[in-house]
Amino acid sequence: MSAAPPPPPENPAVAGSDKVLAAAQHIVKSLATSKNAADDMIRILSGFDNRLSHITSDLFPSSDLAASAESGIPLGEISVESFDAAEQLIQLWDGTPEALVFEAAEEDVAEYLAAVDVAVDHLARGAGAATTGRAGVAVQLAMARLEEELRHLMVRHAVPLDPTGLFFSLRRLSLGSMDDLDTSSEFDAATPHSVDTAPETARGGPLVNPFEEQVFDPVRPEAVDDLRAIADRMARAGYSRELADAYCGIRRDLLDEYLSALGVERLSIDEVQRIEWKQLNDKMKRWVQGVKTVVRVLLAGERRLCDQVLSVSDDLREDCFIESTKGCIMQILNFGDAVAVCPRSPEKLSRILDMYEALAEVIPEMKDLCLGSSGDGVISDVQANLDRLGDAIRGTLFEFGKVLQQESSRRAMTAGEIHPMTRYVMNYLRLLVVYNDTLDALLHDDADDQTDLARAEDEDQEHLESMSPLGRRLLKLISYLEANLGEKSKLYEDSALECIFSMNNLLYIVQKVKDSELGKIFGDHWIKGVVARSGSIQRAT
């Protein structure tokens, strides 16, 4: 009937009649009693000596199964003899578990799949108790083999991920850090005595999608048709659960390997909280890159693979996509949650903002990928993670304000120079303007902001109402800075130095505002007011 699995390798010690006897024993063990046994015998013999292979084409131009498939005979009309042939082929392959159907010749693959179709159809029709029982056994054997073949195909044809090329594309999004700003200070917003750098940002302009022309297929295209053929038959035979388990298990393992290649670590909240800031800063930057890569490359690739391989069922396709990618998504979200509950410290703010914006940016794409009720649950988890990062941003801003109010260093600056705290704060505020839209949205319903508006005098209230939520928060932070500088000016015993110190710091604040986007946010009204105060101090000296 059809091609049998290849015979076992010859033993050099077996020769002459012993070789013939060994071949005969193999045939006896392999062949079941069937009306089509002659067909199988010829094919097995031709596997031992290719000189016999022409006998197959001469005596049996096509097997019953191939003829049925080529003639378009419906499966329901295939004869009992065809089922016998199908059963026999399934058993022959089951007898050689080390051989793989999908590594055989194309015609052998086609005949095995045709045999599976016949067995599944025969079982579905329930044609007699005896043959139905045999069909059930044949289907079980075929499904077990197809499951293993699916695993093998996905692993063998998995495409390795090149993180270097992906990260190079992502780094083009970054327009630098705060290195070009004046950060030569001794002020630390977290411990107000000893830092010489301001926070960094991974942003400086509009974000673009570096993956618009990049497509990552996690499985080589030549294997997709075979995988779909397996999935179609397993689903039609009622083995959808086994199919899903095998598919999702392999995809989860491969996604774990991809995450490892990207440097996305599996860390608990306790582990994240114990990491020193320098290391945590690096991990947060890598997370920002990683979340975009995961969604736009890995998840998009998994979505395409699901659509191609599991096209037999919409529900199966959606459930398998979520089940296979959920662990990967949760690993990304767990780090976000860990960062969100870390102790608030101002130096983390720009990094948390980067994380917030990266996650917010990919949520619409995730909604397109995660469909159905199971997908809704994943999107809810992602949104909750984003909300917690937003809470962390608001909390960190509040903490920064407390630091400014409570900073109490007692060392007077030589000759009334600009205080390190002033340099740090102004550079920090200029940094926050980069995240203008995000911070405006997060501070829109801020209760403290509304309280400040209610307490303001009429003229100030009109000015405050004309400002954005971020503008009002930055103005409050500068008021904290000015109040603190006023206290520090009292450290000078010389009244002239006291005035010089106040004037120098106010003029520095004005200059930093005018030379940045802060000027547009605060407006001329505020700038003129500070300049006027500086002039009054100058006249007093």
Element counts in the chain: helices (H) and strands (E): 23, 0
At residue 56, the pLDDT reads 35
Burial category of 214 from C-beta neighbours within 10 Å (exposed 0-12, middle 13-18, buried 19 and up): middle
Helix (H) or strand (E) holding 344: none
Plot region of 177 (φ>0 → left; ψ -120 to 50 → alpha; else → beta): beta
Q: What is the pLDDT of residues 425-455, one digit of tens each?
A: 999 999 999 999 999 999 987 756 555 544 5
At residue 412, the pLDDT reads 81
Nearest partner of 135 among 151, 119, 121, 149, judged by Cα: 119
Query: Domains in the chain, ordered, with CATH?
Result: 17-144 (no CATH), 163-174+220-402 (1.20.1280.170), 407-540 (no CATH)
d(CA 297, CA 218): 9
Q: What is the 3-state secondary structure (H, E, C) of 62-95?
A: CCHHHHHHHHCCCHHHCCHHHHHHHHHHHHHHHC
Nearest partner of 218 among 181, 258, 268, 245, judged by Cα: 258
pTM for this predicted structure: 0.77
d(CA 486, CA 179): 29
d(CA 39, CA 115): 15
Following DSSP, what letter does each residue of 47-59 receive, concatenated? Answer: HH-GGGHHHHHHH
Give, as one character, the DSSP assignment of residue 484: H
At residue 75, the pLDDT reads 46
Q: What is the pLDDT of residues 100-132, one digit of tens each?
A: 999 999 999 999 999 999 999 989 887 665 567
At residue 535, the pLDDT reads 79
d(CA 473, CA 462): 16
Q: Per-block average pLDDT, block size 10, for the chain (541 residues)?
A: 52 43 43 44 42 36 47 53 91 92 95 95 75 88 97 96 62 38 46 42 47 77 97 97 97 94 87 92 92 94 97 95 96 95 92 97 95 91 97 95 89 87 94 94 75 53 78 93 92 89 92 92 87 77 63
User: Taking the CB of residue 30, how many other CB atoms lie within 10 A of it?
Assistant: 18
> Residues 6 or more apart from 131 whose CB is under 8 A from it?
80, 83, 122
Q: Angle at the Cα of 398 (from 413 to 513), degrees rounded to 5?
A: 55
At residue 133, the pLDDT reads 86
Do 230 and 149 contact (CB within 8 A), yes or no? Answer: yes
Do 495 and 416 contact (CB within 8 A), yes or no? Answer: no
Do 481 and 405 contact (CB within 8 A), yes or no? Answer: no
